[in-house]
Amino acid sequence: MRREYKIIDEAGLHARPASLLVQAATKFPNNIYIEYKDKKLTLKSIMAVMSLGVPQNSTIAIEVEGDNAKEVLQSLENILEDHRLV
Amino acid sequence: MRVKGIAASNGIAISKVFRLETVVLDVTDAKIENVDEELVKLSAAIKKSCAELQIIREKTALKLDEEHAMIFDAHIQIAEDPEIARQVEDMVKSSKVNSAYAFKTVSEMFAQMFEGMDNEYMKERAADVRDVARRIISHLLGVTLSDPTMINEEVIVVADDLTPSDTAQLDREFVKGFITNIGGRTSHSAIMARSLEIPAIVGTKNILEVVKNGDIVILDGLDGEVVINPTKEEITFYEQKNAELLERIAIWSKFVDKDSVTLDGKHVELAANIGSPDDVESVLKNGGEGVGLYRTEFLYMNNDDFPTEDEQYVAYKMVLESLKNKRVVIRTLDIGGDKHLDYLPMDEELNPFLGHRALRLCLDRIDLFKTQLRALLRASVYGDLHIMFPMVATLNEVRKAKAVLNECKVELAKENIKYNDDVKVGIMVEIPAVAILADQFAKEVDFFSIGTNDLIQYSFAADRMNSKVAYLYQPYNPSLLRLIKMVIDASHKEGIWTGMCGEMAGDQIAAPILLGLGLDEFSMSATSILQTRYSFSKLSYKEMKVMAEKCLTFGTHEEVKAFVENKIKGEK
């Protein structure tokens, strides 16, 4: 399952929420990916997420494989919304 | 084995050595044979690092706050990062290099990637990555990093030198003393030890070469001697010496509520030097009659940005209120020289001690100066505030500074904010030009305070950070004593007082001379007050006056020292 998000935060996808996102993703057994431009990396690595350097007004996608993909995706989406990133 | 150094803070400690140093990690690209074994090593090193970071995290939460602790959550996340681990494993498998080398290569690639981003925040994360990598690599190499946050038993910290940020990290509960390679009685580590009331020896030159972690050492802060791995007899001897010291301290402590008077009834004021409102407790505990020097720069140094007027006001008010109408001399910002602020860029100077510092800088940055003066004036209604300007060289500087102070008064009056219009204004006498012209300065200020560390440094043209010229730190040299006498005499002629806020005021040989020269106020480490009050109670002012006159006629530092030592021994 895959959904796209537009990052509206001035600082882009910055470290505090990025680290929460990674923390949350790590808790699920699913394979979870983040896509930006033509790169697709694991969302379970803070280094991977930070290395993308996602700026404001860019579109990213999160892709969840496996069971309960919808719920997993929703909980990640909540983090993005709680921090007003999207 | 014994090592000599400079006794920097009184007391005796016997404890284990903790070496605080920058460990060099020697990573080579050596090949390995057994990949599986190397990967086991890698995961163990990561696990161990995470466990350590977790401990540091908990400690930080306990000692500081949750916000600082979260920095280490981020570090743990980096240490556990699956992407780094995967790339390191790939590299070990494909190139058969050792894991330390692979880890260094991969982490450095990420660090450089972050550094190259056009984003301040990400640039700082590069430092986090390197910091975590250092910890993991040290475990891979089997090297122990020197990490003061991991101290969890009583130790004596041994270091080349201790910077303010080093000492801030040390756990006061466990650190029983300092021994350093470099420094003198006035270096940061020495001042810090005295304010923590723990013994210290500085300037040993080679202590790091001769002790290992875990060695037992005796630190004799009275005589400046370190005994490494002592015998039973030596331990007994020093335990006895310590007991005698504690006995003397018990006698001194009886003087806590007494006035500072000589045998023949001459009263002087014994005040304390402080760096923050936290130090006030020790001033009161040690019977200080006031604060002779409040170094406000620590308010600036322990901060990410300039402290606001309100932040400063709160700190000054707290000190004034705690001292309950005793005199409090607050020195305006004395930055530059060896003290820098991360958030205030300064030009690289060839001779920073002779450069753009203290009042010179404040007169150039009137905005900063005004913020501090307004905070001081607002606090002035809560006690007996004396404002003091540091590093004055000319009378025009004093006039300019006073003009700015007056502007602040006018502003506050307009804003209907209360202040004490009669607040006293004085200057530090630490540049020979001022000492020589003291009669003129005395007409325009309310008091003098002699800063001996700088006055000696400038009089003898000897950088006090350079241990090769440390022999020129000569507080008893007659030329210095004559300068001091000029200042004291000039102030008394104009009916104002002279104090001293340098190390010399608490020196057991210098203080009797200064007493004889007529010094009015002695400001020192709080822990030296009672001892000085006790020794003054055994001295006659009249005799000290004669002694001081005699000292002025000698030719060398050594002659004065020998003469006074002999004389005072006779008195006791």
Per-residue pLDDT tens for B43-89?
999 999 999 899 888 887 887 778 778 888 888 999 999 999 999 99
Q: Which of residues 100-129 of B touch A (CB under 8 A)?
A: 110, 113-114, 117, 119, 121-122, 125, 129
The highest-confidence range among B72-86, B130-144, B511-525, by mean pLDDT, is B511-525
More confident residue, A25 or B163: A25
Question: Which tokens is B117 given?
Answer: 């981003």
| For residues B249-253, average pLDDT | 91
Q: Mind listing the pLDDT tens digit for each residue in B16-30?
A: 999 998 888 899 999
Using a CB–CB cutoff of 8 Å, tell me whether B90 touches chain A.
no
Query: Shortest CA distance to B317 belongs to which of B390, B377, B406, B389?
Result: B377
Tally the domains of chain A. Answer: 1
Whether A83 is a known active-site residue: answer no
The C-alpha of B82 sits at a distance from chain A's nearest C-alpha, in angstroms, of 6
Question: Which tokens is B189 given?
Answer: 């580590």
Question: Which tokens is B415 given?
Answer: 């804003």
Give the model's pLDDT for residue B572.
45
More confident residue, B126 or B500: B500
Cβ–Cβ < 8 Å for B196, B178: no
| B82/A44 CB distance under 8 A | yes
Q: Which domains does chain B have, with CATH numbers?
A: 2-21+152-250 (3.50.30.10), 35-141 (1.10.274.10), 266-425+433-452+482-571 (3.20.20.60)
Give the model's pLDDT for residue B311.
93
Q: How far is the C-alpha of B297 from the C-alpha of B361, rounded, in Å?
A: 13
Give the model's pLDDT for residue B168.
65
Give the model's pLDDT for residue A56.
81
| A47/B121 CB distance under 8 A | no
Candidates A19, A42, A50; nearest CB to B122: A50
Q: How far is the C-alpha of B356 from the C-alpha of B347, rounded, in Å?
A: 9
Burial zone of B191 (CB within 10 Å; 0-12 exposed, 13-18 middle, 19+ buried): buried
Lowest mean pLDDT among B351-360, B406-415, B429-438: B351-360
Candidates A15, A47, A53; nearest CB to B81: A47
Is residue B570's pLDDT more than 70? no
Q: Mind listing the pLDDT tens digit for each residue in A26-70?
A: 999 999 999 998 899 999 999 999 888 888 888 999 999 999 999
Q: How far is the C-alpha of B145 from the C-alpha of B322, rounded, in Å?
A: 42
Candidates B73, B83, B121; nearest CB to A47: B83
Q: Mind listing the pLDDT tens digit for each residue in B272-321?
A: 999 888 889 889 999 999 999 999 988 888 777 899 999 999 999 999 99
| For residues B401-414, average pLDDT | 97
Q: How far is the C-alpha of B565 from the C-alpha of B562, rounded, in Å?
A: 5
Q: Mind listing the pLDDT tens digit for each residue in B318-373?
A: 999 999 989 999 999 998 877 788 888 888 888 888 999 999 999 999 999 999 99
CA angle B520–B539–B529, rounded 5-degree value: 55
Question: Which tokens is B124 given?
Answer: 């700082």
Q: What is the largest CA-CA distance in chain A?
A: 34
* pLDDT mean across residues, chain B: 92
| For residues B395-417, average pLDDT | 97
Query: Shortest CA distance to B485 belongs to which of B456, B513, B527?
Result: B513
| For residues B549-566, average pLDDT | 96
The upper half-sphere exposure of residue B241, i.e. CA atoms within 13 Å in the direction of its Cβ, equals 18
Catalytic residue (choose from A3, A14, A56, A86): A14
Q: How far is the C-alpha of B276 from the C-alpha of B291, rounded, in Å?
A: 11
User: Which residue's entry shows tokens 């490494």?
Assistant: B228
Q: Which of residues 68-87 of B touch A (CB under 8 A)?
A: 73-74, 77-78, 81-84
| For residues B517-530, average pLDDT | 94
Range of the domain at A62: 2-82
Residues of A with Cβ-Cβ distance to B125 under 8 angstroms? 15, 50
Is residue B383's pLDDT more than 70? yes
Tell me the count of A-B CB pairs closer than 8 A. 41
Chain A residue nearest residue B115, CA to CA = A51
Residue A36 sits in a domain whose CATH number is 3.30.1340.10
Using a CB–CB cutoff of 8 Å, tell me whether A27 touches chain B.
no
Q: How far is the C-alpha of B252 from the C-alpha of B533, rounded, in Å?
A: 8
Cβ–Cβ < 8 Å for B218, B2: no
At A1 the three-state DSSP class reads coil
The highest-confidence range among B60-74, B104-118, B544-558, by mean pLDDT, is B544-558
| For residues B118-140, average pLDDT | 86
Candidates A23, A47, A53; nearest CB to B84: A47
Torsion, Cα of B20, B22, B23, B29 (10° steps): 170
Q: How far is the C-alpha of B470 from the C-alpha of A64, rounded, in Å?
A: 68
- CB-based contacts of B96, cutoff 8 Å, min separation 6: B31, B32, B33, B35
Using a CB–CB cutoff of 8 Å, tell me whether A19 touches chain B.
yes
Integer CA distances (angstroms), B128 to B74, B79, B399, B411, in order: 8, 10, 48, 46
| Angle of helix B120-141 versus helix B35-63 axis, rounded to 10 | 120
Query: Shortest CA distance to B491 belongs to which of B550, B547, B442, B546?
Result: B442
Is residue B450's pLDDT more than 60? yes
Torsion, Cα of B380, B382, B383, B385 (10° steps): -20
CB atoms within 10 A of CB B33: 7
User: Which residue's entry shows tokens 């020195």?
Assistant: B331
Cβ–Cβ < 8 Å for B3, B210: yes
Cβ–Cβ < 8 Å for B25, B51: no
Q: How far is the C-alpha of B434 from the C-alpha of B498, rounded, in Å?
A: 13
DSSP B519-537: --EEEE-GGGHHHHHHHHH
Kindly indicate the confidence band of residue B165, based on its pLDDT and cuts at 50, 70 and 90: low
